């Protein structure tokens, strides 16, 4: 990584102005993956001082700033009980405290990482994201679009809903990336079943959600395993992931129904 200019805006608006001024600028969130990459960066825009590192309650639910770290999610009082604590569960074993202190919500979502636990959990809770230019949209819609490197993700919004929810994942060692991750949630007549690290990104499974609404955990597990796509990577093969999906979706949905 080589950077020629390193800028530290004091607000999201200032950051957006810098992105407009420097068309090839790269945003630095946590910085860990940028550091590991080899691309040449002429202008770096570091959001560390932009005032986006917060978790707060709003009249309509909860808001996570783009620079909120995984450690902040893990320890925020507002998140301990929200959706049965699955936003805490999904990040609390990732690598170590040091890495969780630099890994950011915005960097994770903008990176659209397939292995991401947070994306899977947020999709299950109907999260919305705010972009400086494109405005507010459901996380699923954001993930489906091509990344716009000129725009800036500023916050994530969680609705004021009382979700019954469950987090399940399988890792090869306790602090590793997940081989597969699953989030299930239910609130009234709404159900969500999301499976990620397939190794592709977390996706909802509407058939499994219908089974969860019908109170059928085994049916949800069966239909998720048979309809979702699974692939091979260094951590596991697709067939193994399919079997894991059956088990983890059964556990997650049973827990939500309990």
Partner 1 sequence: MTIVFTLNDREVTWEIEPTETLLQALRRNGLVGAKEGCDTASCGVCTVLLDNKPVPSCAVPAARVDGHTVTTVEGVQDQARRIGEAMAAEGADQCGYCTPGLVMSLVAMEKELDQPDDEQIRSYLAGNMCRCSGYTSQMRAVRKYLGGGR
- Where do contacts with partner 1 occur on this chain (CB under 8 A)? 1-6, 8, 28, 30-32, 35-36, 44, 46, 48-49, 71, 92-93, 95-99, 101-102, 174-175
Contact 127, 121 (CB under 8 A): no
CB of 128 or CB of 169, closer to partner 1: 169
CB of 13 or CB of 97, closer to partner 1: 97
Rounded to 5°, the CA angle 246-252-257 comes to 120
CB of 26 or CB of 124, closer to partner 1: 26
Q: How far is CA 115 from CA 16, 92, 96, 208, in A?
A: 28, 15, 17, 21
Residue 147 has a CB neighbour count (10 Å cut-off) of 12
User: What is residue 186's three-state secondary structure?
Assistant: strand
CB of 9 to partner 1, least distance (A): 13
CB of 42 or CB of 160, closer to partner 1: 42
- The b-or-e profile of 124-138 (16+ CB within 10 A means b, else e) is bbbbbbbbbeeeeee
CB of 29 to partner 1, least distance (A): 11
Dihedral over Cα of 196, 143, 160, 57: its sign: positive
CB of 249 to partner 1, least distance (A): 27
CB of 101 or CB of 145, closer to partner 1: 101
Contact 252, 191 (CB under 8 A): no
- The b-or-e profile of 52-77 (16+ CB within 10 A means b, else e) is bbebeeeeebbbbbbbbbbbbbbebe
* Rounded-to-integer distance, Cα 5 and Cα 213, Å: 53
CB of 246 to partner 1, least distance (A): 29
CB of 4 or CB of 135, closer to partner 1: 4
CB of 178 to partner 1, least distance (A): 16
CB of 107 or CB of 219, closer to partner 1: 107
CB of 107 to partner 1, least distance (A): 12
* Rounded-to-integer distance, Cα 57 and Cα 55, Å: 7
CB of 47 to partner 1, least distance (A): 10
């Amino acid at each position: 990584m080589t950077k020629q200019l390193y800028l530290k805006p004091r607000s999201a608006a200032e950051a957006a102005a810098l992105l407009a001024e420097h068309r090839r600028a790269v945003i630095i969130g946590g910085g860990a993956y940028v550091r590991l990459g080899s691309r040449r960066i002429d202008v770096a825009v570091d959001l560390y001082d932009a005032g986006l590192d917060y978790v707060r309650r709003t009249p309509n639910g909860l808001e996570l700033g783009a620079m909120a770290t995984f450690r902040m999610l893990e320890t925020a009082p507002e998140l301990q009980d929200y959706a049965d604590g699955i936003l805490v569960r999904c990040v609390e074993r990732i690598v170590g405290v040091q890495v969780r202190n630099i890994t950011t919500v915005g960097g994770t979502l903008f990176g659209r990482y397939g292995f991401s636990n947070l994306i899977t959990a947020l999709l299950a809770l109907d999260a919305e994201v705010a972009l400086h230019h494109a405005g507010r949209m459901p996380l699923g819609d954001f993930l489906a679009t091509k990344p716009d490197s000129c725009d800036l993700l500023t916050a994530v919004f969680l609705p004021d809903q009382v979700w019954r929810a469950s987090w399940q994942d399988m890792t090869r060692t306790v602090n590793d990336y997940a081989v597969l991750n699953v989030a299930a949630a239910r609130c009234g007549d709404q159900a969500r079943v999301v499976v990620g690290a397939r190794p592709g990104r977390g996706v909802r499974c509407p058939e499994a959600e219908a089974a969860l609404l019908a109170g059928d955990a085994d049916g949800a597990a069966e239909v998720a395993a048979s309809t979702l796509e699974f692939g091979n990577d260094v951590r596991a093969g697709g067939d193994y992931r399919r079997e894991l999906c059956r088990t983890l979706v059964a556990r997650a949905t049973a827990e939500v129904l309990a």
